[in-house]
Chains A and B, each alone.
Chain A
């Protein structure tokens, strides 16, 4: 059992800088959880607290049923893959992978069997006698994974392990790690600032900001039902468009007033009522913004980014910069006026003051 429980955990550096604040979450056994957020949000600190590399200032951390606050790293049964791989440069790949087992006084024959088994699995069997510096980034990454795998740990910690790889290798390694998780009985905690990794790998995503959990949910739920503007803007590529609007009502129901344009809403009346005639923030993902000859919203095209299967249109609309995602490779001229429609089913409303969601 490698359930991980954070109970009101805080980490304060030098008595003044609060890196993690009142962090509470239960991570289930064998779950793949991804901590995501901008640089300095405290996600790596959380990981390091699980590893035992950072002391916990307040709160309780359990791995399984054991309170591990004061337990040294080697007694926690966790393995970690570092961003820079942290391979021992003077040791061969074999020695790198065997080191943890040697420290645990595992018999030599057993070490040999395990190292070769994992090396075969990761396709680095041919490189066991090589030193890390003679290997490519992808191979080093595999060795780092292998070093963690041979121990068969209860918890697997991965701290931005793919950030030093090129885009192509990152994609293939991503699927390797997903497969590794499926094969293993370990709980995976993965830190990244790359939302594609977060969306594709995790059973759940924990979005963090300034040491505080913003939202912890499945990737789909975080994408579709963000709890505030920060999460809405952080998850999704390109990120969500935000436009200030006023909520109004007529005989047909509630609608949003964006400058001189009205957008009819199909949201629950009870949620909207308190915001009547108040300013709100309308959020809409780029795929909800559509060029439409019949559209009444006018936007000026600034830049068109053809990406092959889709094109991103960077537009200036209602005094704000927005992005529309359209299919195919349609031709657009710079400074062209483009009529738009906003898909009402894609609209999210946020409180202009608290930035929390009003409705999806």
Chain B
């Protein structure tokens, strides 16, 4: 019986490991290939590039997926960081779009969730239900209304047309509300008896206990908007304002080495944020009821 249990656990671990490696491979490939020279990359991926111009040649040639460069070179990074300022400009575009969205969304979601947490009544249930419905809708459904509103308010082609809709996210409110409901009511009551105002209860008692949820929301929102493509394409017509996520796709076939280097640089903020807050992320999501804790 015990042997059987060990065997099934081993099999599961093996399957999980296979999936983990499969998911990790593209990232590893991107990072290692960013250290290859353009010549080496052309030799390995020439088939793909030629197929972009002539599809008939694609099927007849092989792509050589290579992880370890013959010779490590930082040439691509040198070009991206020092010779081609466009990439850094787009990187900055991403930063000035995403950082306000993360800060405003976390702040607004915290206030909204606190209201759902503290105030009862039929109206509250209705609004919360409405939030859940909105949460279930894919972003693409909201894109046309967002476009119309942006045009109507004159915000079209400005960064605010992306930032403002990004501030209000039902998922963050839902997650935080679930998290706040874990806070014992007696704590809030104790704070009321201690003479704390509603704002002080929110900032001094409630928020510090939602730190992990706030952090996990910040990470999720950051990753979501850091990788956005549809919003800038629809709402911004000035390509100078495009974030790097959109600009990456415009790198032409001859610059595939740059694409690897830019993609690697682009991954760094998300990775750092994730590594720094991994613990919070897991705790935030599990304790919010998204996963049974």
Contacts and interface: CB of A to CB of B under 8 A. Distances in A.
B187 A88 contact: yes
A82 B190 contact: yes
Contact of B205 (A73, A82, A88, A151): A88
B186 A74 contact: no
Greatest chain A CB density within 10 A among B195, B196, B200 is at B195
Interface in B209-258: 209, 211
B193 A73 contact: yes
Given A90-B208, A90-B209, A100 B184 contact: no
Contacts of A51: 189, 193
Interface string B171-206: 000000000000010110111111111001000110
Given A53-B189, A82-B190, A84-B186, A74 B195 contact: yes
A82 B193 CA distance: 11
B208 to A, nearest CB: 4
A103 B195 contact: yes
Given A82-B190, A86-B187, A103 B196 contact: yes
Given A84-B186, A88-B187, A74 B193 contact: yes
A83 B187 CA distance: 11
B186 A89 contact: no
A253 B190 CA distance: 61
Contact of B192 (A53, A83, A147): A53
Interface string A71-90: 01110001110111011111
Label chain A's interface by main secondary structure: loop
A33 to B, nearest CB: 19
Interface string A85-104: 01111100000000110011
Contacts of A73: 189, 192-193
Given A84-B186, A86-B184, A90-B208, A78 B200 contact: no
A84 B195 contact: no
Contact of A104 (B186, B195, B204): B195
Interface string B143-165: 00000000000000000000000
Contacts of B195: 74, 100, 103-104
A219 to B, nearest CB: 28
Contacts of B205: 88
A82 B184 CA distance: 11
A68 to B, nearest CB: 13
Contacts of B208: 90
Interface string A102-113: 011000000000
Nearest to A84: B186
Interface string B254-269: 0000000000000000
Contacts of B194: 74, 99-100, 103, 147, 151
Interface in A14-52: 51-52
Nearest to B204: A99
A83 B186 CA distance: 9
A305 B195 CA distance: 50
A186 B284 CA distance: 42
Contacts of A99: 191, 194, 196, 204
A86 B200 contact: no
A86 B191 CA distance: 9
A254 B212 CA distance: 75
A136 to B, nearest CB: 19
Contacts of B193: 51-53, 73-74, 78-80, 100
A73 B186 CA distance: 13
Contacts of A87: 190
29 contacts: A51-B189, A51-B193, A52-B192, A53-B192, A72-B192, A73-B193, A74-B193, A74-B195, A78-B193, A80-B189, A80-B190, A80-B193, A82-B190, A84-B186, A86-B184, A86-B189, A86-B190, A88-B187, A90-B209, A99-B191, A99-B196, A100-B193, A100-B195, A103-B194, A103-B196, A103-B197, A104-B195, A147-B190, A151-B194
Q: Which 9 A-B pairs have the closest CB atoms?
A: A100-B194, A74-B195, A86-B186, A103-B195, A86-B190, A90-B208, A82-B186, A73-B192, A73-B193
Given A74-B195, A82-B189, 12 more contacts: A52-B193, A53-B192, A53-B193, A74-B192, A79-B193, A80-B189, A86-B190, A88-B187, A90-B209, A99-B196, A99-B204, A103-B196
